[in-house]
Amino acid sequence: MKTYQHFIGGQYVDPLGGKWIDSMDPYRGEAWAKIPQGCARDVDRAVSAAAQAMQGPWSKLTPSARGKLMLKLADLVAANVDRLAEVEVRDNGKLLAEMRGQLAYHPEWWRYFGGLADKIEGAVVPIDKPDTFAFTRHEPMGVVAALTAWNSPLLFIAWKCAPAIAAGCTVVVKPSEFASASTLEFAALTKEAGFPDGVFNVVTGLGQEAGAALVDHPGVAKITFTGSDATGAKIYAQAAKTMKRVSLELGGKSPNIVFADCDLGAAAAGAISGIFAATGQTCIAGSRLLVQNSIKDEFSKKVVELGRTARKGDPMKPDTNIGPVTTTPQYRKILDYMEIAKAEGARCILGGGAASDLPGGQFVEPTIFTDVKPEMRIAREEVFGPVLSIIGFEDEAEAVKLANDTIYGLAAGVWTKDMNRALRMSAALKAGTVWVNTYRAISYMMPFGGMKHSGIGRESGIEAIREYLETKSVWISMAEGSPANPFVMR
């Protein structure tokens, strides 16, 4: 069993408290590695290392030099895709095919933001004051604390750390205690790429210990977090006490809306991918399938037929479609929601319980409920598992009303051949991302984030780098002599 260490100041170091946590393999149901159980003192070490790098060698590098280091890191990730993907699968149980795909795409964030590093430009302002030269400049916020989730650890590293580092910040990453190993493996690549010590640091441990210490630390300028809206709200409130900047990528209850005029085969495949891919453990899961009543019965049968073909099993095997649920608490939560749905009157037409014939004890059946009412908990609360609710609607106006009737606003899907409708829906839906005739598409070029309880701020795209910059206004007087009245502002 491998024993990991924190990565602080360019070195792997033991936790000061001398404690480790077992990291579980969700598929086999057994511990496969140990990660450090970090404490406030470990956090302080990491933040101090990041602050020293900000004030020292990192601040002396030109933006172009930062970008070149990021390009080197991209190449190193590309050379280690298979190894990193296998580590991630051991840690979170997601499909190797998906993790390998994410890791193969991961370097593009470092290349994109590495290219942006020397294009952060201020502006000369044609100010309305005489004899005055005024301009703006954009400066890094400082030390960034990146708190990442267990479902896609290294993808979130790319989303958060690439723009932060391109902006000139240094980072301390606190990955989920349920999936930390791949982040600790990745840290070595930053050293190999030539990043100065302290630019990239990793402290692992429990959220209420290491995570809370990072949120409270006076040396941290910015918090970026991916996780549930409940935890995000707590972080937001706690960070406000020290006036930290915050960006939050939180949960969702995303509607996947199917109109009668769509390509039914493509829409059915999109519905299945939207909820059963990643075992439903993704914030953008299309967990509410809104289907026009005229095709609801026909379309429901198509979706069920496709859902039945899902193969559960070893996530390392290429023909597996559904892997285990990553954590035991999440596994129990999914099963609880299935029972709640049945008790509230939803009709289960596929799955509906645990899959007990597989190793590890954390598999659930891909599940579809129909006769779901908008007020049911299964239609309102984030399950974070392979559980789909089918809800009928009559027309476009009702589809919009149902789709927006949620505290969340992360994503939405629309299936239609009518491009006028597609444009109307994309404007009417209260979601940070709207996909039309596709689902779960992402790119380093496109901003990603939510409305309402789904978060604050954006990741990816040019907008992401602005999340890590402060704008400074500079005024230079070119007037000669003293002002006529020093008590009056010019």
Active site residues: 249, 283
Residues 46 and 44: their CA atoms lie apart, in Å, by 5
Tokens of 394: 């009559």
Tokens of 478: 């070119």
Residue 206, burial from CB neighbour count under 10 angstroms (0-12, 13-18, 19+): middle
Could you give the CA distance from residue 187 to residue 490 in angstroms, rounded to a whole number?
A: 52
Helix (H, G, I), strand (E, B) or coil at 277: helix
Instruction: Tell me if 130 sits within 8 A of 159, measured CB to CB.
Output: no
360 C-beta neighbours (distance < 10 Å), count: 19
The neighbour count for residue 143, using CB atoms within 10 Å, is 26
Q: What share of the chain is helix, strand, coil (3-state, %, to 5)?
A: 40, 20, 35
434 φ, ψ to 5°? Answer: -125, 120
Neighbours of 237 (CB within 10 A): 11
Q: Cα(42)–Cα(211) distance, rounded to whole angstroms?
A: 11
Minimal CA–CA distance to 1: which of 22, 29, 27?
22
> How far is it, in rounded angstroms, from Cα 302 to Cα 307?
9
Q: CA dihedral in degrees (406, 407, 413, 416; nearest 10)?
A: 40
Q: Which two tokens stand for residue 442?
A: 């992402």
Q: Name the nearest CA neighbour of 122 among 467, 471, 463, 461.
A: 471
- C-alpha 101/C-alpha 95 separation (Å) is 10
CB 359 within 8 A of CB 28: yes
Does residue 361 sit in helix, strand or coil? helix
